[in-house]
Amino acid sequence: MSTEVITHFAQLALSAPVLQAVNEIGYESPSPIQAQAIPPLLAGRDLLGQAQTGTGKTAAFALPILSRLDIGLAQPQVLVLTPTRELAIQVAEAMQTYARHLKGFHVLPIYGGQGMDTQLRALRRGVHAVVGTPGRVQDHLRRGTLKLDRLTTLVLDEADEMLRMGFIDEVEQILQHTPAEKQVALFSATMPAAIQKVAQKYLRDPVEIKIKNKTSTVAAISQRYWEVTGLHKLDALTRILEVEEFDAMIVFVRTKTATVELAERLEARGFSCSALNGDMNQVLRERTVERLKKGSLDIVVATDVAARGLDVERISHVVNYDIPYDTEAYVHRIGRTGRAGRKGEAILFVAPREKRMLRAIETATRQPITPMQLPSHADIADRRVTQFKQTISATLAAQELDFFEKLITDYQREHDVTVDKIAAALAYLVQKERPLLPAAEKSTAPAAARADRAERQEKPRGRDEARRGHTAERSVEAGMVRYRMEVGRDHGVQPKNIVGAIANEAGMDSQNIGHIKLYDDFSTVDLPAGMPKDIFKHLTKVWVCGQQLRLSVLSGDGQQGEHKSAAAPAPRKDQPKHAKPHPKKSAKPKPKVKMKK
């Protein structure tokens, strides 16, 4: 193996399409396990890797595997076994991202709890890679629906976790169904005797890699996380910036493009902000850092590589807008604050499927990361009022105001108004661009009122009642379709979460979202007829409160049906054909919703 120190992905012999995807994603420097694992895997060697979750394992095996793939052969050439369906989905999504320039590439996650028909259709169409849990993979092998005769690479991810969950026998049985000539990569955080036995039996002269689990002391840094819900991340960040007492801040994102886009959006919202990424020349970078040091710039949106070595004492906060790919990157990020004995604050945005990385970060730092509540509109109003009062006090203390006092006295006498009224008008003019009572975000403003209405309505008493057909208690308005979502009160969902998710993910004006009703383990929502199939398909995969919506159409009798684009619902059996419009509603049907591009 070469003794060359690998500091850039360009030094690795990855295929051109895969390397292009890596560059677009924003990866610039391989993690230790990637630098050590990619060369032998590209060379076709077996590999035994000991590494914790959060070290960049997925890219370590996915990038070389995709570089060696025969894209013209639409049969399973790669099988990745994972202990959980959540990990299977994550790995499959990562592989699809890395293969974005491999035309025609298909990867299929297979796991229990998902309909078998969907998996069977995908297997019949042809896939290049399968990522699955041992139980469901074994089920397909018994049925004869998964053929592994063209398999070239097998990956066992988190093998010790599969052992702990009792899957090791299934793993061995699956291995016995694979061709003798294949590449095997086994990754495990620990190496108990049972895992060593599997490695000795099925791996041939493997390259062994052991990545030490580095832990860092970050006691001077307070760490919090916000679980990404229906509210858009940009709106959440804006609320935090409004209320948090910070001197200077770094906001970390994954890609160079995102630094520019987010910085521009924050500037448009009135914040002093600039991007910092690897595409900037040295002069511009130094100028940005100098502005941050001097206080003429308060917020920098940066990538991991661009922020390395950045040492600015006034950085009091680090926000992980995008969760990092490995724990080491997280430690580097939050290390930009808490300098020179000062206390630092670190905030992490975490999507439901990223909880594994959150736990890995807690393990690596040996520090708990506490959940945080986003500031409410009342909190933002209180903060703005306090700042406004402070501005008044500072002005009274520092400025000569005799001329303005005379001006106000003259105006009062000429127009016969009180000083209070004049002061209120001046306060409005000063704060016109930044109202002291901020309105709710456009995407979620109607949600609050709708949520209040939903909470006041009589709620179904339980699963049995709901399943007897009570989902259709209220008539569906003309031009609307009622959908079922597999998230309910048991999961902690509120109407505002549903409205926020649909409005943001579908690019839909929230005013077009109709009646929402919550049940124990599911909910219903009325949406305009004519939803495009691609939007519907996307919404079925959206996560709210840790649950996939798995959207489905409800027919008039409360039964689930198939979604049909641009089709209005059939009339309810209990609804007259020529029913009069509700007195408070227009008789005119709602227009089909316009989706934002």
Mean pLDDT of 541-554: 86
Q: Which run of H or E residues covers position 225?
A: strand 221-227
pLDDT tens track for 199-248: 999 999 999 999 876 555 566 788 999 988 756 888 889 888 888 888 89
153 DSSP β-pair partners? 78, 183
Residue 326 in contact with residue 55, Cβ under 8 Å?
A: yes
User: Rounded to whole angstroms, how far apart are CA atoms 503 and 548?
Assistant: 16
Confidence of residue 46 (pLDDT cuts 50, 70, 90): very high
pLDDT of residue 575: 43
Tell me the CATH number at 139: 3.40.50.300
The CA angle 547-496-447, to the nearest 5 degrees, is 150
Structure tokens at 277: 């990424």
Q: Are residues 96 and 237 in the same domain?
A: no
Residue 536 φ/ψ, nearest 5 degrees: -60, -45
Q: Are residues 203 and 226 in the same domain?
A: no
Q: Are residues 41 and 158 in the same domain?
A: yes
Q: Are residues 255 and 385 in the same domain?
A: no
Q: Are residues 39 and 178 in the same domain?
A: yes
56: left (phi over 0), alpha (psi -120 to 50) or beta: left
- Poorest-confidence range of 99-103, 166-170, 390-394, 449-453? 449-453
Q: Are residues 355 and 416 in the same domain?
A: no
The answer to whether residue 567 is domain-embedded is: no
pLDDT of residue 518: 87
The answer to whether residue 84 is domain-embedded is: yes
Tell me: pLDDT of 452 over 60.
Answer: no
Share of residues in the chain with pLDDT > 90 (%): 31
Place of tokens 């994603």: 25
Q: Please write down the HEC assignment for all residues of 256-297.
A: HHHHHHHHHHHHHCCCCEEEECCCCCHHHHHHHHHHHHHCCC
Mean of all residue pLDDT scores within the chain: 81
524 DSSP β-pair partners? 484, 517
Residue 499 in contact with residue 230, Cβ under 8 Å?
A: yes
Structure tokens at 27: 């990866």
Tell me: pLDDT of 531 over 50.
Answer: yes
Residue 118 in contact with residue 47, Cβ under 8 Å?
A: no
User: Rounded to whole angstroms, how far apart are CA atoms 184 and 155?
Assistant: 6
Residue 223 in contact with residue 348, Cβ under 8 Å?
A: yes
pTM, two decimals, is 0.51
pLDDT tens track for 266-287: 988 888 899 998 788 878 888 8
**Three-state DSSP class for 53?**
coil
Boundary of a domain, candidates 182, 210, 238:
210
How many angstroms separate the first and last alpha carbons of the chain? Answer: 49
Q: Are residues 38 and 112 in the same domain?
A: yes
Mean pLDDT of 529-547: 85
What distance lies between CA 497 and its chain's CA centroid? 15
pLDDT of residue 65: 96
pLDDT of residue 26: 67
pLDDT of residue 503: 80
From residue 470, give the alpha-carbon distance in Å to each of 240, 254, 524, 558, 573. Answer: 41, 46, 11, 7, 14
The answer to whether residue 205 is domain-embedded is: yes
Residue 34 in contact with residue 61, Cβ under 8 Å?
A: no
The answer to whether residue 595 is domain-embedded is: no
Residue 193 in contact with residue 112, Cβ under 8 Å?
A: no
Residue 519 in contact with residue 471, Cβ under 8 Å?
A: yes
| Nearest by Cα to 388 from 439, 435, 340, 333 | 435
Q: Are residues 326 and 203 in the same domain?
A: no
CA-derived radius of gyration, the chain? 28
From residue 594, give the alpha-carbon distance in Å to each of 505, 506, 510, 529, 564. Answer: 14, 10, 11, 11, 17
Q: Structurally, how many domains does the chain consist of?
A: 4
Structure tokens at 497: 């979460």
Contact partners, residue 96, CB within 8 Å, separation at least 6: 105, 107
Could you tell me which residue, 191 or 556, shows the higher pLDDT?
191
The answer to whether residue 287 is domain-embedded is: yes
Q: Are residues 268 and 182 in the same domain?
A: no
The answer to whether residue 592 is domain-embedded is: no
Contact partners, residue 1, CB within 8 Å, separation at least 6: 39, 40, 207
Boundary of a domain, candidates 371, 387, 413:
371
| Domain ranges, residue 134 | 9-210
Mean pLDDT of 327-348: 82
Q: Are residues 472 and 344 in the same domain?
A: no
Q: Are residues 306 and 405 in the same domain?
A: no
What distance lies between CA 215 and its chain's CA centroid? 25
pLDDT tens track for 390-446: 788 888 888 888 898 889 888 888 888 888 888 888 888 877 766 776 654 433 334
Q: Are residues 27 and 117 in the same domain?
A: yes
The answer to whether residue 315 is domain-embedded is: yes
User: Rounded to whole angstroms, how far apart are CA atoms 436 and 379?
Assistant: 11
87: left (phi over 0), alpha (psi -120 to 50) or beta: alpha
Structure tokens at 23: 């560059």
Residue 137 φ/ψ, nearest 5 degrees: -60, -45
The answer to whether residue 586 is domain-embedded is: no
pLDDT tens track for 573-594: 444 444 444 444 444 444 444 4
